[in-house]
Structure 1
Amino acid sequence: MKVLAAMSGGVDSAVAAARAVEAGHEVVGVHLALSRNSGTLRTGSRGCCTIEDSMDAQRAANVLGIPYYVWDFSEKFKTDVVDDFVAEYQAGRTPNPCMRCNERIKFAALLEKALALGFDAVCTGHYASLLTDSDGNLELHRSNEVAKDQSYVLGVLTAEQLKHSMFPLGASASKAEIRKEADRRGLSVANKPDSYDICFIPEGDTQDWLTDKVGKAPGQIVDREGAVLGTHEGTHEFTVGQRKGLSIGRPAADGKPRYVLEIRPKTNTVVVGPQAALAIAEMAGSRFTWCGMPPKETSEWAEILVQVRAHGDALAAKFAIVEGEMVIRLEEPLLGVAPGQTAVLYAGTRVLGQTTIDRTVSAIPVGA
């Protein structure tokens, strides 16, 4: 097969490309330039897709003996990921930019361009596995390396996209083994630290970055009954579940800490209350997709596992499609679920699909 290897400049994508070459595929490496500031450099393990990363990817491609290109996706990345991130926060939601990047950049724009150029598949260093069911349909499953499993952020992939995807690291034993393999292959990125935090906010201060983009918008902080407890400089500075930085002078009647329960952008209000009120019994979203073949029956309640954070636990739940929404009811309440987050459904290790959460239902009603 003719394979386009997406090379981020990290050890995982370099080893994935090496394995694709070793498997006998015709491999071409490509690095996506996503930053609009061409002078951006990585700071330790913060940030990614920088000039430094591009050079690391180039060196890896040279060792592997494959052609290498840099494709400028900065404009689309700004529109589809960065601008979307800002808009979601302004709308009172908590977005996951990695999900949007996988959905709109790596497995939409990149794959579309790859197919147009005659490639059969895009290869990445994600830790996830592709398996085939008894009818020959592709399924996305968790990686054998549970600690590094990235199937959650790939939950946005469709059946058609799975047909043109390769994840050579899916059956890997551990990240330590990947680093040893990179060292054996002579790849200089063998000991390069993993990137973390949001790639376009390399300093790691999301609130400060958002304030610089949208400015301040003073409003009120209220309790669940509507009593005003304090003021804030902008709802974008808060996320559901946040405890620190609320700046409420008056303590709660029971003396316990308050947490952000809800963000209401229309009234520019932040709602706070006890930690127990963060418990969510139900979540739902109208923007849902199936990863691979969809379930045959979706109108009846079915038992599944649901995960709402990249490294969170998969929790027992039931789901059904009700009046155009994917509705998920948890067996046990989950703390701190926010609109804008992504709920990924699993059947065992298989990814069934995902939805962007539009609304949640508290396990504890107001006044309880």
Structure 2
Amino acid sequence: MSFIETDEHKELRSAVAALGKKYGADYFRACARENRKTDELWAEAGRLGFIGVNLPAEYGGGGAGMYELSIVMEELAASGTGLLMMVVSPAICGNVIARFGTDEQKQRWLPGLASGEITMAFGITEPDAGSNSHTITTTARRDGDQWVLSGQKVFISGVDQAQAVLIVGRTEEAKTGKLAPALFIVPTDAPGFSFTQIPMELENPEKQFQLFLDDVRLPADALVGDPEAALSQLFAGLNPERIMGAASAIGMGRFALGKAIEYVTQRTVWKAPIGSHQAIAHPLAAGKIELELAKLMMQKAAAIYDAGDDWGAAEAANMAKYAAAEAAVKLVDHAVHSMGGNGLTTEYGVAQMLSLVRIARVAPVSREMILNFVASSSLGLPKSY
């Protein structure tokens, strides 16, 4: 791993930043307020090869990895246009299918996921399971040559713009009779599949939904990968999720910092720009340091994942997500505070981020569960759960 990005990485950053600037935060907020999707941005990102940059070239992707996809996520978020479905569709679902799907599944789904013409949501969280994936109650049973899925999911992003959802269910193991995790591709138009939107206090074009699977019948080839190895397959998809969550938070932090710097450099009180006062400058400088440290861990996590080390990536990805969330939340708060009353206005576009950036501490995994993971897995401490 090099701390100096290649010319190709620099060119990718520049190109994605230019796309983000073309649409900008005003476009993103207008889509959220007018209840419309960022279809134009998503489609152009797909045409330029940004959405599927991590997916195999033989299926229309860029043939790169999570390092490159995290660049795309970070730069879009830094432009005020962070697309949540980038975390879900190419990072989680695309990676899982590319690594574990059958040839037929790869041919069916990956070209569309790479181009952005197909969007796939991801369904793991349940009303009563929370962060405990071992207590998922969505079940899948065999009925002849079909699977029948029943259950519920909650806080599932972007289902209204997805053609399918990668659902985490549980199947009965033939040897033990116990329920084991399994992954299924469920088309959103499948009979028995329905969803309702969850009202959220977030200004975001991509909405949250509760899903209902009422005896949804699927063909045998809806199952992704080996059911005996589904748990490892699941976590191989969650590592990219944490990396992209970190990239999103870092991008949001950069956006808020840029807004604050612009304001405190121009705003003059007592004959000097307020940015010259340490009470204003020091929190922003500390935020910059913390953001850069989190970015280093995110880059490390992406490099480890791309090298094929899932366990090493799990530790680094969780740490990166934790560090990025903490840095971004603090930095957005400092940015708003440094701008005084203007920081709370619609015009300056920073106050809206107070609730949006808070997601980074809660999803896709809470800061407390990351601390649990690090305590038990990295430090060898007894589990508290």
Q: Please give the range of the TM-score, normalised by the shorter of the 2 chains.
A: under 0.3
- TM-score (normalizing by structure 2): 0.26
| Structure in which a larger fraction of residues adopt helix | 2
- TM-score (normalizing by structure 1): 0.27
| Structure in which a larger fraction of residues adopt strand | 1
